[in-house]
Structure 1
């Protein structure tokens, strides 16, 4: 009954604290200070006394309580924290020494005191404490995490990495802390930090830190390389799947798939196989997606197969330009497909027919199985590819799609009120099918079909030429935009890209001329700061200019 009363007192204190009734909270927490709730009660009192400005009352209470429990780490930590918070450093140091005497050989006092010294930025004092800890405890292993944090604070990145490698070896729960502490490593020192964690023997904890750092530094391939060679076992499979989660979140689908496939070799799972199949589609590898979908389907009944595996199979077949096979697959599982899945499948099949160049069948797929043209995204693209700008304008605006092609299409539709442009539609269709040669020619041809959007279409074509390393043809179009359409929003970008092409060719003087022209002609352009940076770099190479 007494334990229940103390528990009730603690809850009463929490409620009063949250309600802002601080004096009531003090009374309740003091009532809860005996028994198993002691630490929670003291922490509650610490919070409330700080708000009341009565830290001295807390210190008096801690002095009395610690006479009976001189080595209690939570109470000692609160005592040190309160003294340091009041600027009473000498008294905090004395309390630390008493704590060491009460708990000989325990690394906890060293860890806690060093952490609390680091918080207000007293790195040199923390360094002194940790150096002494290494001597007393016979090495730095017991305080490795604190050493890692201290060294990172001081900008000693490689020694910090060494300490964190030691810390996570015995405490894998510190993995996130290690990667967070080392994330600010300057680019010039990252190789050395990674070398510490990649050093053999390969340790799973060290490699996981290396992977997390590489991901954060924008090197997903290096991240996967850090984990890939670990021995395949249950704990490694967990690490691979954790990494796959992170890679998926960053949109690194190919690498996420590799990690999941590695995990599947150790721990077969229909769920993981299905995730890997979806990642394969997103990575642009629909053939691998079909193989993984087959693996995911093993052991599933017809209903589960239709609901879980069918969508990725249809998506993969559509991406492969095999919409007929996708239609047959949907028909074979029709009894187990719900209306939502059927509608989504019809949209994917429509995309497949688009890829195959059969727009009439793509339109038919949109109204099949109850779709009724509700798939705004697919219906919009089908309309655009067929040259129906009015339909595309209506559907694509509703779809909310925001990838690169969609932005280009919406920009075009915003620049013209034309309702039909079959040559422009054919160019977008060629682009969707990966026929960049036809797309580049089509966009140039389409500039005559929609003159009000000519600079935009010429710019699209120029980008495609540049992507194919055909700078002469790209420059011809950028020149045309700058010369014939100086008021168009594409003109500054064309001038900048023209300058970059000249720089790649080694014509620095010409590149400087183009950048100066951009800055003087369009001073309000958002590209001017970038142009100034590139101009400065070029002038350093051509000092006489």
Structure 2
């Protein structure tokens, strides 16, 4: 009976104690919720004086003292809790922050050592020690803490991630590379963090970082590959990736995807070819429609990189795969036509297009038909270009037919087709070029002028020097207002594109003839921009003022005003 009574008294006392703590905690939390942090800190402090083992109160005290910048007051309550309960690991980090805020680094180190005794073999005490010092902006102290942990744990890769991030923050790129090389196997989840941290390295450090990673584990070498593709070394990066690819298919697929993610923003044909190689490797490890999709993407990427042979090899693999979905087969067919055109095999491209047209869909078929027609134009065969478009009644086809007629010298037929195409066919650039062609031939009275067509055809095929000579020869046989000025303006633009400013200036001054009021303002505007680019601002300003006063109704005047403001040091032209 006596023992039972004693047990009841103890139970009653414990219940009363818990009830008292709960009531005090509720009051303290309510003050904290209202952002009355001073009162909340006092309330939590009172609880800890009565009940020093109350971890919830200690955490509340930490939350309340932070906004007041009184973290130093955490140290003693945290130490009191640890004295009664050394296993309360959350209190160690609070004690560290308290002593650090109080300017007591030796006490911080002492807490870390005691924590390490409670959790032997764990990196956490040393990580928290270093992080606490980092919070006090003591980078060197944090590094010493991490290295102390590494030494005591007897693990050369311990805390490598923390040391790497710290080294990168201090622009110590040699150490950063060495530590990330150690960290990659231990902490694979750090890969993106490592890549993003090292990407900040200056260009002068790139080779040294890549060299250091190449000496590491396979995971470190794969990190180096991801950096290399972004640092303009695509071929070397891919070779390093393949030499360090994991053997197991799932791990290899993941590594390839990670590399492709890094390679996505890399520019240039070599980078495109490397992306194609990585996609091909990924396709070989992927079954079903997923593999087919990857092969199609690889073919397109190879084509973008100028490797037509590899693109065709991918497309042949797709064609041989009976499981390729119909929509993907159509995409492969379209890509094959594009690849053949890029190789200059226009006849073969047309045969493939005719063979596969039914599977392409109308929009794709029309687009590829235009590309084949352009291929015949570039190869110099206008008859076959026009024949390809014979059954195509789209406005885009009319635009190409208009150019074909123009290249033959049929100015009347070209005008009809180009006007029928209207201002909306094709891209904005194509519409602008079409409008420029109409403006070029509109002043010419003749319905047919084969020599002009031949000159424009030469220009379209890329022989700029020969085209300029031919255009000027035609211009010399035409009245200034009857097309001569327009042709000289076109020749001047070509010379500018060729990097011949002196010849361009001569031609522009010739085109800016007042007897051709439709052409002169445009010629003067182009000439003014040329003069500005040559640093002859005074001449440019005078010319722009002349343009605005002499041709007030010209469409060139609004642009001229903007250029004039820029020339005078006002608002930028754009």
What band does the TM-score fall into relative to the shorter chain? Answer: 0.5 to 0.7
User: Which one has a bigger Cα radius of gyration?
Assistant: 2
Kindly state the Cα deviation for residue 524 of structure 1 after the two structures are TM-superposed: 7.3
Paired with 2:231 and 2:121, the residues of 1 have a C-alpha distance of 39
The 1:137/1:335 distance shift into structure 2, 3 A limit, reads same
Asked if the contact 2:72–2:101 (Cα under 8 Å) also holds between the matched residues in 1, the reply is no
Name stretches of at least 5 consecutive residues in structure 1 with no aligned partner: 1-20, 31-38, 432-437, 463-476, 497-521, 526-545
SS of the residue 1:250 aligns to:
coil
The reply on whether 1:174 has 2:190 as its aligned counterpart is yes
Residue 196 of structure 1 and its aligned partner are, at CA, apart by 1.0
- Counterpart of 2:368 (choices 326, 345, 357) is 345
Structure 1 residue 145: deviation in Å?
1.4
Which residue does the alignment assign to 1:418?
440
2:318 aligns to what?
296
CA 1:170–1:333 in 2, change beyond 3 Å: closer, same or farther? same
> In terms of mean alpha carbon deviation, does 320-329 or 187-196 score higher?
320-329
Whole-angstrom distance in 1 between the partners of 2:159 and 2:200: 22
Q: Aligned partners of 1:152, 1:411: CA distance in 2, in Å?
A: 51
Alignment pair present for 1:399 and 2:427: yes
Unaligned runs of 5+ in 2: 1-31, 45-54, 443-451, 476-485, 510-526, 537-566
Match of 1:203 in 2: 217
Taking structure 1 as the reference length, the TM-score comes to 0.63
Q: 1:231-271 deviations in whole A, cap 9, x for unaligned?
A: 57333454334323433433431221233334455667322
1:129 is displaced (CA, Å) by 0.8
Task: Provide closer, same or farther for how the CA distance between residues 187 and 336 of structure 1 changes in structure 2, counting only shifts above 3 A.
Answer: closer
Query: In structure 2, what is the Cα distance between the partners aligned to 1:290 and 1:64?
Result: 75
Matched, 1:221 2:235: yes
**Match status 1:430 vs 2:461:** yes
**8 A contact 1:240–1:259 mirrored in 2:** yes
Q: Distance in 1 between matches of 2:178 and 2:208?
A: 10
Change (3 A) 1:382 1:59: farther
Tell me the distance in 2 between the aligned counterparts of 1:380 and 1:136.
Answer: 82
SS in 2 for 1:348: helix
How far apart in 2 are the matches of 1:395 and 1:290?
34
Residues 52 and 308 of structure 1, relative CA distance in 2, 3 Å threshold: farther
Per the TM alignment, residue 148 of structure 1 is displaced from its structure 2 partner at its CA by 1.6
State the shift of 1:275 in Å. 1.3
Please state if 1:104 is matched with 2:120. yes
Kindly report which structure 2 residues correspond to 1:26-425, keeping only aligned pairs within 5 A, or say none: 70=87, 72=89, 96-118=112-134, 121-199=137-215, 203-230=217-244, 233=247, 234=249, 235-251=251-267, 252-264=271-283, 269-297=291-319, 298-300=321-323, 303-359=326-382, 361-362=384-385, 365=388, 372-374=394-396, 394=423, 399-400=427-428, 417-419=439-441, 422=453, 425=456
RMSD of aligned residue pairs (Cα, Å) = 5.1
Label 1:162 to 1:419 Cα distance change in 2 as closer, same or farther (>3 A): same
Which residue of the partner structure matches residue 550 of structure 2? none
Question: Partners in 1 of 2:60 and 2:309 — Cα distance?
Answer: 59
Using the size of structure 2 for normalisation, the TM-score is: 0.60
How many Å separate the matches in 2 of 1:373 and 1:64? 85
Matching residue of 2:497: 460
CA distance 1:139–1:81, change in 2 (3 Å): same
